[in-house]
Amino acid sequence: MKSVQTVLNYLDGNQDRFVRELCEYIRIPSVSAQTERRDDVRRCADWLTDHCRNMGLDAVVHATAGHPIVVAKTPRSKTSRKPQFVIYGHYDVQPAEPFELWKTPPFEPRIEGRSLFGRGASDNKGQNFAHLKAVEAYLKTNTELPCDLTFVLEGEEEVGSVSLETFLKAHRDELRCQAVVISDTGLPGLDYPALTCGLRGIFAVEITLCGPSRDLHSGLYGGTVDNPAMALCQLLAQLRDKKGRVAIPGFYDDVELLSKADRKEFARLPGTEAEYRKHLGVPKLFGESGFSYNEQRGARPTIEINGLTSGYQGEGSKTIVPAWAKAKLTFRLVPNQRPSQIRKLVLSRLRALCPPTVRMSLTVGHGGEPYLVSPSNPMAQAALRTLKQAFGHEPVLIRDGGSIPIVTQFKKILRADSLLLGLALPDDNLHSPNEKFSLDAFEKGMRMSALLWKELGALKTI
């Protein structure tokens, strides 16, 4: 019988090809939010499907009302029953704008030292590719996989995973599994491999304030009609207090306080406030007092303006009262806040704050529940052992600030917890210009995946 060492040797021997293939994957601009990229998103799904087939997986691309979902399975043995796992990832990426802030074009991957630059390199192409390559290593060396694996790779994560939810309901039986393995989160450093036990939830809403029926001369009309941009700023300013707390009645009612154990785990994380501040380029940190920045990010709710648009921002001046102003807002949620309840509170507060001098329209966007799971079950313990072996360092438990709304759907629909084993480093620039993926994280991630199937396959209790 071939051992996992054969698999690891295959991984070591093929690194350069894996990096070249990952570059091909990144070159496809699969931006899910932009209609003009629809064909590119489709092309990316097809590329992945072909790639999976060439690796020896049984792969199908499923059309949806939105972007396609790729499902790829390891060949099933007719004789032995093995534990089953779903490996989830997303092949869609965030918009790359503003392009001018990229050192080199976002969809022309570039290697500098041990970093691979490109939109989606870390979030999430590089991370899901690490799992694909680990499985390729089993298949191409004819080493028996200790588990039956099904990859579910979607194209709508960055826009709320709407189609995947429907897909999970329709394919519940086919996707039955002991757990879902996901690498779409972060780790504090290569010497701090991490099991993520918590993610924040999210609620998104867009506000439009309309004033006059057209842009007006601000000298002739200013002072007689409200200015939608000003009205929007004044409205938004009332949604957060000076201490960084969300100023919406009832918003904190369901927020669970941090436990002693949680705070202890947060305190184990490396890095200082000064380093964090410097890394982000701000003159001073901002946030709720009484919490460290890791606690603020991981376990406290927030409101953020993601985009704010109105009036004239072109060259020179244009003296107008703009006809409209828009803002895109998201709230990050923590246990036990529910997006449906937050939606009610937010919408009614916005309506109450809107002055009679403008018309307001509200468009609700994606929602996702917060996620928190205990690391004490045997699968999480197996994952922690694997992290230690693959990275050569003691792992940490983290609660991260980002959201992967589908994880709570995996729980509800498939009744499966998610093992979140992230490979994104703090300086990977997720969603920012010059996103990158560490080739060391890639290498370690592939080892982690290869070893994980051995550890999980050996569990007697699942």
Stretch in the footprint of ligand BES (CB under 6 A) among 81-89, 156-164, 347-355, 453-461? 156-164
Q: Which is nearer to ligand BES, 182 or 416 (CB)?
A: 182
Only one residue has tokens 């199937």, namely: 453
Q: Sketch the per residue contact string, 197 through 226, with ligand BES: x for CB under 6 A, - otherwise.
A: --x--x------------------------
Token couple for 233: 């700023």
Instruction: Return the residue of 123, 156, 369, 455 that touches Zn ion, per CB under 5 A.
Output: 123
Q: Which is nearer to Zn ion, 8 or 153 (CB)?
A: 153
Instruction: Return the residue of 184, 265, 443, 455 that touches ligand BES, per CB under 6 A.
Output: 184
Number of H helices, E strands in the chain: 14, 18
Regarding 297 and contact with ligand BES (CB under 6 A), the answer is no
| CA-based R_g, the chain, Å | 23
Regarding 298 and contact with ligand BES (CB under 6 A), the answer is no
Element spanning 273, H or E: helix 273-280
Token couple for 188: 């504090």
Q: To the nearest whole angstrom, how small is the minimum distance from the Cβ of residue 159 to ligand BES? A: 6
Instruction: Return the residue of 136, 148, 156, 158 that touches ligand BES, per CB under 6 A.
Output: 158
Report the candidate in 386, 376, 458 with the shortest Cα–Cα distance to residue 417.
376
> Which does residue 120 touch among Zn ion, ligand BES, none (CB within 5 to 8 A, set by kind)?
none
Q: To the nearest whole angstrom, how small is the minimum distance from the Cβ of residue 154 to ligand BES? A: 11
Q: How far apart are CA 305 and CA 322, in angstroms?
A: 20
Q: How far apart are CA 452 and CA 455, in angstroms?
A: 5
Type of residue found at 191:
D
Report the candidate in 405, 385, 236, 219 with the shortest Cα–Cα distance to residue 306.
236
Instruction: Return the residue of 153, 342, 373, 404 that touches ligand BES, per CB under 6 A.
Output: 404
Q: To the nearest whole angstrom, how small is the minimum distance from the Cβ of residue 183 to ligand BES? A: 9
Residues 195/135, Cβ–Cβ less than 8 Å = no
Q: Which is nearer to ligand BES, 184 or 455 (CB)?
A: 184
Phi-psi region of 118 (alpha: psi -120 to 50; beta: other; left: phi over 0): left
Regarding 455 and contact with ligand BES (CB under 6 A), the answer is no
Regarding 435 and contact with ligand BES (CB under 6 A), the answer is no
Q: To the nearest whole angstrom, how small is the minimum distance from the Cβ of residue 427 to Zn ion? A: 16
Q: Which is nearer to Zn ion, 128 or 310 (CB)?
A: 128
Please name the residues in contact with 321: beta carbons below 8 A apart, sequence gap of 6 or more: 211, 212, 215, 216, 217, 218, 221, 222, 225, 227, 228
Q: To the nearest whole angstrom, how small is the minimum distance from the Cβ of residue 90 to Zn ion? A: 8
How would you classify the pairing of strands 194-199 and 216-217? unpaired
- Please tell me what DSSP assigns to residue 158: G
Report the candidate in 335, 377, 393 with the shortest Cα–Cα distance to residue 188.
393
Q: To the nearest whole angstrom, how small is the minimum distance from the Cβ of residue 430 to Zn ion? A: 6
> Which does residue 92 touch among ligand BES, Zn ion, none (CB within 5 to 8 A, set by kind)?
none
191-204 burial, b at 16+ Cβ within 10 Å, e below that, comes to ebbbbbbbbbbbbb
> Which does residue 404 touch among ligand BES, Zn ion, none (CB within 5 to 8 A, set by kind)?
ligand BES
- DSSP-assigned beta bridge partners for residue 372: 198
Q: To the nearest whole angstrom, how small is the minimum distance from the Cβ of residue 406 to ligand BES? A: 9
Regarding 32 and contact with ligand BES (CB under 6 A), the answer is no
Q: To the nearest whole angstrom, how small is the minimum distance from the Cβ of residue 424 to ligand BES? A: 6
Token couple for 386: 């694997």
- Please tell me what DSSP assigns to residue 122: I
Regarding 40 and contact with Zn ion (CB under 5 A), the answer is no
Residues in region 229-268 near Zn ion by CB under 5 A: none
Catalog residues that contact Zn ion under the rule CB under 5 A.
123
Catalog residues that contact ligand BES under the rule CB under 6 A.
123-124, 157-158, 160, 184-186, 199, 202, 366, 368, 400, 402-405, 424, 430
